[in-house]
Amino acid sequence: MSVEVYSECRIQLSPINGKNIDFNRCIIELRQYDIGDYALRAIDMNNDKSEIFTCPLIRRNQYIFAPSVNEPDILNITNSTYRLWLNKNSRDEFHKILRTCLEEFLIVKDNDINLSSQQQNQQRSKTLLNELCTQEDEPYYRNEEPFDCITCMETIEKDEGILFHNCLHPFCKPCLLRMIETSTEPIIKCPHDNCTALITERELRGVAKDLKTDQKVIGRLNDIGVRFAESRNKTFHCITPDCTHWWFIEPEEANNMIFCNGCKRWICITCSAIHEGQTCREYQDAKLREMNDGNVRKDEEQLEAMIKNKEVMYCPGCRIIIQKISGCDWIQCSQCKIEICWPTQGPRWGPKGHGDTSGGCRCRVDNGKLCVPNCQNCH
């Protein structure tokens, strides 16, 4: 079995006798089980990836293609009609491959003149599937026959290799581990030529466990996947710490609030924040005030440090901030015109003005003693 193509979509179920049921976030897959043996399978991504339906394709008119992206495709299943609005980015590729299967492979199947050969192939496929069903509880399928690994060319004996769930191609476990360790992509595809099937995380973890490898090597792929999802234009990753949930976001979606089933919080995708009980405007205003308050606190702390290091001072007369870059230790405030002794950072003269040393700088007044040891002696 292999997944030939898939697309994100929205699905509406219309039973003959019953109310319409909407599934808002789904994946529709085209699966091949054998030559001319195809089925469509739908998965509900909002409900733990539960299956909505699996529909074998037996008639070419069973699937009706919509003429435009705004109209739904129609899939008729016994007693029910499913309407599918495909994601516009993957719709064309999905239609192209599905049309090929319906118009070519099903015709081949219909016109197969060697009915006996077809029945024998189907019987062998059913036998293999029955054998694999007994391994459903295992992390991966074991190879029932020896094979030569396409990478290392070694012969892998029965039960020593792996058959990938999605395509049943055989592969060597050590070679798969090397792929895991060196991959720079969030997903690993089957290495067989022209195969686009994806290898599941369950299979990767099973091989890592068998080869006694640290499971962090698988966690690394998950981290790559999260970064990949965040980098896409139409995805949004939950901002709550340790929450790994993310969503596909369509441009036409008007609602900017998303409820995360992981952390059980409402996330605003416009603000990329949790602001329950606040509008976007209220949240942005509060954030701006907080940022401004932080800048003020930062400026005040920087000023206090400069005063402590005597890089600046408050004027002893009017309390404005004064800074001396160079020059004489005598300075005058440009605001209140008071004369200042920079080394003592006090007034140059006392209250009686020029020459009054009673309340100002006393440099060389007391037996020639300087006001401070590093006084430049120019006042």
Give per-residue pLDDT as tens, 314-323: 888 888 888 8
Provide the pairing of β-strand 80-86 with 21-34.
unpaired
121-176: per-residue pLDDT in tens? 555 555 556 565 666 667 888 888 888 999 898 999 988 998 887 888 899 999 98
**What's the pLDDT score for residue 106?**
55
Residue 47 CA: distances (Å) to CA of 167, 240, 244, 261, 354: 25, 21, 16, 10, 87
The ranges of the chain with pLDDT < 70 are 1, 35-36, 104-137, 186, 215, 221-222, 224-236, 246-255, 296, 376-379
Which of 76, 20, 85 lies closest to 53 in space, CA to CA?
Answer: 76
Contact 358, 308 (CB under 8 A): no
Contact 241, 221 (CB under 8 A): no
CA angle 124, 126, 127 (to 5 degrees): 65
**What's the pLDDT score for residue 379?**
63
| Residue carrying the six token digits 């495709």 | 73
Tokens of 265: 């919080």
* Amino acid in the structure at residue 108: V
- Give the integer Cα–Cα distance in Å for 1 and 146: 20
pTM over 0.75: no
CA angle 266, 271, 274 (to 5 degrees): 30
Cβ of 30: how many Cβ atoms within 10 Å? 21
- Give the integer Cα–Cα distance in Å for 265 and 241: 12
Residues assigned a catalytic role: 328
- Give the integer Cα–Cα distance in Å for 275 and 284: 10
Cβ neighbourhood burial of 33 (10 Å; 0-12, 13-18, 19+): middle
- Give the integer Cα–Cα distance in Å for 193 and 179: 15
DSSP state of 143: P
**What's the pLDDT score for residue 113?**
41
**What's the pLDDT score for residue 114?**
46
**What's the pLDDT score for residue 115?**
46
Residue 331 CA: distances (Å) to CA of 224, 338, 342, 345, 379: 62, 9, 7, 10, 9
Phi-psi region of 217 (alpha: psi -120 to 50; beta: other; left: phi over 0): alpha
